[in-house]
Structure 1
């Protein structure tokens, strides 16, 4: 077969398909915005409209967005001000039904894309969708990604409206009372049409239905959510000579009501039928609803003396229904102060100092971001059991709960300095920070021996983030040319301080006292075995270890390499985060560049393409050119095998840790503004044309995908962070 394929000339039978070229495309985007504003002495208003039409870089995907925003404010008299805001957004997008809801764990279209093989072809000779004529492990069925993209659909309609009204009343004694009421309303409808697809064998012409995909059917999901919010605040402002005082007290109530309804049907006579009642078999319905509440009391006081000594104190007392009675309330205070040294008499003659301010702050914030009802055991219907020799309906606990969980609390301490000199040309900022998060909310695993239950959410421990951040900027002008150069750099040390005596494992990561949180945990590699003598002299790894295999370090020196030899092998949290900007303008031309990056950070990838022939996927070119053979003993990679049939080379180890550092040009924009004299003749206030590029350049050693990703996610199935080039016009009348 190898010779046949090597000598074959028909591109449909003997293809060399690049599935990324087949499935990705350059996609157009157009966006239009119009804003109208006006009013008089006491009343102002604004009205804006927006339209976005965007094709996806993945074929057969697109989205449209429509927006409407309106705002009106009016001073009815000297003591009463009212206002209202209405914002509406409507999304309408389309993708393959298999993209978001593939139902078999392969990752949908993106997963199939990463499993695609060069020997598979999208179309047969007659233009029909192609099957594969060679069956290989992991591809007993060929789920043609192109066919699944164009046939069937997932259509998603989302409508969100945010309505806000307020009234502000001026009271005696420098008091101002404000009441705000808001409603955030969401309606959504998803519709999946699962097709039946026929594939043509390009060699034999035999037509067969595509296998291992959802049966032809229709699923529809309706969701709705209503978030009602009510805020009341009382504000006091007073100037006492050189002393300025501002105080605020208030409370808020928030209510969240969410529900969904879904229906499914099968038994359709054709793919073009996609209404629920057109099906005839296996109808099913379902639905859920939920409610939650959040109530808060808060206060703030600001004090300033001659704008030289500045102090602020805040306090919040929040209650959340996401926790059990007795655990729902948390108190979160904060304090900050600043000293403007340049306003002191001893620096009065230092005219070159524009601003010199010392800052310090300490505060606490709470986090309640866990699923609803996490404090009670989750019970599932449909867990039938045998009783008296009959199968009867039953329920069972499927997820454990910890009723003692409460607020996660983050305590932040910051000391900083702001220093501006040379008439604002040079600006410098330095911050030292200590951020400690205690009672961290995390879902933990439980041993399968206790019933294979989903683990509970718990307050598992305390994590410290300490570091320093520095920013520096310089701006000046040379004739008509103005420029600005700025940059910032932050160093972060992350460490788990306490896990209450436990160790938490989650796939390839670990949470353990003394290590960074979610650190990669595995074996340490020490090169590649070159011959049998090296294997015999080393600790035992596996009975079939052979030259070309990865050599692992026996950390405890017991003569056996096993799980007891695992250590921390990588860090999923960047130690360095940085960015810099370059801006310049000459007369009416402006150029702006923004770069951002991270350094000293790792990721662990073991999915399709990361490991050879994983799950039926192919291999990257480096495995064909740089894997170990007796003739290539200095290769970087071990001997080429399948990851499932020969697992010892694909154990979790630092051999597969990848450097995820990157530097990316996030944004570059070139713009030209019409001269003022031209605008006057045209009765235009502003006319600006621009060209903008986002994510256009990336510098990284990570070659398996986008480094700006979830670094603890082992597989590579991610929608790409695409590049975009935009040209547009800003016009103000």
Structure 2
């Protein structure tokens, strides 16, 4: 198998001379222009051998894969335009800032590749006892220069088809029932290249031999022991089919331990040239359950209904930040960033706690003057004017990772009509509503940059006082639970249209049809990845609702 995918993107942005950035900050007509190209090449070669000997069946598969990704981009920004007619991102060079060295110009190119050799063997006896084992040997360019460019990742799975046993022959409940147990290791290479070698970078200017020269300083320390992150997962599953195929599904329980998490450890200088070293060390645990059900509730001559349910849970815990060599000074670190006027980190990652915890001040009420009443680190209530707002007064005020996901897909066919509806939701998580934090700021004097909710009564009592400084607290953390009707498609098929056309299908669909949520922001489906999930940026663009009408022909 071979594939080649190339995508190109050109983008530009302009602000007029009347924009707030020009009036307030002097960025007259700030504009930017850029372009990027991404290419992905994939080659995969496999060979399969299978054979049956009496009651024994086995197969052996071997293969090779090569994946390369090339990314190139360029970017220019400028301001200092004389008017709105001749400037902008279509004529970005006439601005004065770039010529004076006050604006940005950059370009970059990166190439990564992943090479893998893999094998898999399967064996079954009487189609009752099943075995599968696999092995991957992979090398990643991101680990070039270390002693661990290549990693070995094995897995093994055992299956028992219970319905094939003699004691199940008389039962009529299950058509098929299979128990599975598996263990496997997978690897994740670093996202950024060259983290394990010593690198240099440009820094400040120095006056040398009568001219200013940009200095070159260390950018990283070498660490030849840097290696792949490893996910070690144990899985127990049950597959079943009932009622002559009308009901089928799977249930899986898993425990996933991630070892060797990549982290930047603080190190002394000297003997090191750079104050941090990238190394493996952290450990994290994930546990959960996944359920899939396929049901055919109705099947008749002119009517059929198929439905699928999915449900999953996940809980995680950071077990350690330390490695065998490198240690941390603290058992936590703060991450995420909230923009002006707050300007603070939003999340805390701490040993023994869940990933995704929000870290801020907890407010429980307001006084008659519209000032916050806080709950301090000891659980005591403290008025606004007496609260120190020191970093040590912060606490966990929410979590941005959903604990449960669910989905429900339906397909209905009645005579020549067909209808499909897909739905999904996420539950038990919180969202930081940065738009409210910023646009409900009582000290924001520009009325056009405020939400109507700035006049809402806090906790149903009174408006927020103009004496209250903007800050990140629990009042701006909301429940993010949602249920979305993702897609609705209705079609009608005309059959036996003519000699050359077998059928014509007319259809219409709605994408992003409906969202049911109590969240006050634009869209509760915010990022749930990384170390700072659940953050709804104030600049998030709304999700669009699209309508499609089409005609399909079958010849």
TM over 0.5, yes or no?
Answer: yes
- Of 495, 508, 519, the residue aligned with 1:691 is 508
Alignment match, 1:314: 134
1:609 aligns with 2:447: no
Distance in 2 between residues matched to 1:491 and 1:278, nearest whole Å:
53
Which residue, out of 339, 343, 346, partners 1:508?
346
1:494 maps onto 2:316 in alignment: yes
Query: Aligned runs of 1:519-558 on 2, under 5 Å?
Result: 519-530=357-368, 548-555=371-378
Which residue is equivalent to 2:183?
362
Higher relative contact order (Cα pairs below 8 Å, separated by 6+ residues): 2
Is 2:74 the partner of 1:236? no
**Alignment of 1:252 onto 2:65:** yes
Aligned twin of 1:31: none
Q: Which residue does 1:518 correspond to in 2?
A: 356
Higher strand share: 2
Quick check: 1:477 aligned with 2:302? no
Residue 190 of structure 1: how far off its partner (Å): 3.0
**C-alpha contact (below 8 Å) 2:432/2:477 kept by paired residues:** yes
Deviation of 1:331 after TM superposition, in Å, equals 1.4
Aligned position for 1:673: 493
Larger Rg: 1
- Secondary structure of the structure 2 residue equivalent to 1:469: strand
User: Is this contact kept in 1: 2:349–2:356, CA < 8 A?
Assistant: yes
- 1:431 paired residue number: 252
Runs of 5+ unmatched residues, structure 1:
1-179, 201-207, 448-452, 531-545, 629-633
1:724 and 1:522, CA in 2 relative to 1: closer, same or farther beyond 3 A?
same
Corresponding residue number in structure 2 for 1:301: 121
Distance in 2 between the 1:574 and 1:422 partners? 34
Cα distance in 2 for partners of 1:696, 1:277 equals: 40
The superposition leaves residues 506-564 of structure 1 with CA deviations (integer Å, 9 ceiling, x where unpaired) of 1111111221113112333332334xxxxxxxxxxxxxxx6632322342779975433
Q: Is 2:183–2:233's contact at 8 Å kept on the other side of the alignment?
A: yes
1:285 and 1:185, CA in 2 relative to 1: closer, same or farther beyond 3 A?
A: farther
Contact in 1 for aligned 2:432/2:534 (Cα 8 Å) = yes
Following superposition, the deviation at residue 301 of structure 1 comes to: 0.5
Following the alignment from structure 1 to structure 2, what is the Cα–Cα distance between the partners of residues 400 and 613?
Answer: 45
State the distance in 2 between where 1:479 and 1:319 align: 55
By how many angstroms is 1:708 displaced?
0.4
Alignment partners' CA distance in 2, 1:584 and 1:689: 16
Supply the distance in 2 between the matched residues of 1:377 and 1:566 (Cα, whole angstroms).
Answer: 37
Equivalences for residues 381-400 of structure 1 within 5 A: 381=202, 383-385=204-206, 391-397=212-218
- Cα distance in 1 for residues equivalent to 2:512 and 2:38: 34
Query: Contact 2:46/2:61 (CA < 8 Å) preserved in 1?
Result: yes
The secondary structure found in structure 1 opposite 2:244 is coil
Question: Contact 1:219/1:276 (CA < 8 Å) preserved in 2?
Answer: no
1:335-371 CA-partner distances (Å, limit 9, x unpaired): 1222222222222233442221112221111111411
Task: Kindly provide the CA deviation profile for residues 355-409 of structure 1, in whole angstroms up to 9, marking residues without a partner as x.
Answer: 2111222111111141122234554335213569974432334667766432111
Q: How has the CA–CA distance of structure 1 residues 654 and 661 changed in structure 2, closer, same or farther, with 3 Å as cutoff? A: same
Classify the secondary structure of the residue corresponding to 1:394: strand
Among 521, 536, 553, which residue is 1:704 paired with?
521
8 Å CA contact 1:268–1:278 kept in 2: the answer is: no
Cα drift, residue 264 of structure 1: 7.8
State the TM-score, normalized to the length of structure 1.
0.62
Change (3 A) 1:257 1:474: closer
Once the 2 structures are TM-superposed, how far is the Cα of residue 575 of structure 1 from its aligned partner? 0.8
Q: Count residues in correspondence.
A: 510
Residues 606-640 of structure 1: per-residue CA shift (max 9 Å, x gap): 34336445695743333313237xxxxx52x7623
Q: CA RMSD in A?
A: 3.8
**Alignment correspondent of 2:414:** 586
**Aligned with 1:322: secondary structure?**
helix
TM-score, structure 2 as length reference: 0.80
Q: Which region of structure 1 is more displaced relative to structure 2, 596-605 or 209-218?
A: 209-218
Matches within 5 A, 1:91-110: none
Distance in 1 separating the partners of 2:91 and 2:431: 44
Rounded to whole Å, the distance in 2 between the matches of 1:309 and 1:214 is 74
Whether the 8 Å contact between 2:374 and 2:381 is mirrored in structure 1 is no
Corresponding residue for residue 479 of structure 2: 659
Kindly indicate whether the alpha-carbon contact (under 8 Å) linking 2:207 and 2:213 is maintained by their aligned counterparts in 1.
yes
**Kept after mapping to 1: 8 A contact 2:400/2:535:** no
Contact 1:216 1:271 in 2 (8 A): no
Partner of 1:627: 458
Mapping of residues 88-487 of structure 1, within 5 Å: 182=2, 184=4, 186=6, 188=8, 190=10, 192=12, 197=16, 212-213=26-27, 219=33, 221=35, 223-224=36-37, 227-260=40-73, 271=86, 287-323=107-143, 324-376=145-197, 379-381=200-202, 383-385=204-206, 391-397=212-218, 404-441=225-262, 457-475=278-296, 476-487=298-309
Structure 2: 5+ residue stretches without partners: 269-273, 323-327, 336-344, 528-532
Q: CA deviation at 1:305?
A: 2.2
Describe the shift of the 1:686–1:199 C-alpha distance in structure 2 as closer, same or farther (beyond 3 A). Answer: same
Corresponding residue SS for 1:622: helix
Q: Shift of the alpha carbon at 1:243?
A: 1.5
* 8 Å Cα contact 1:486/1:581 also seen in 2: yes
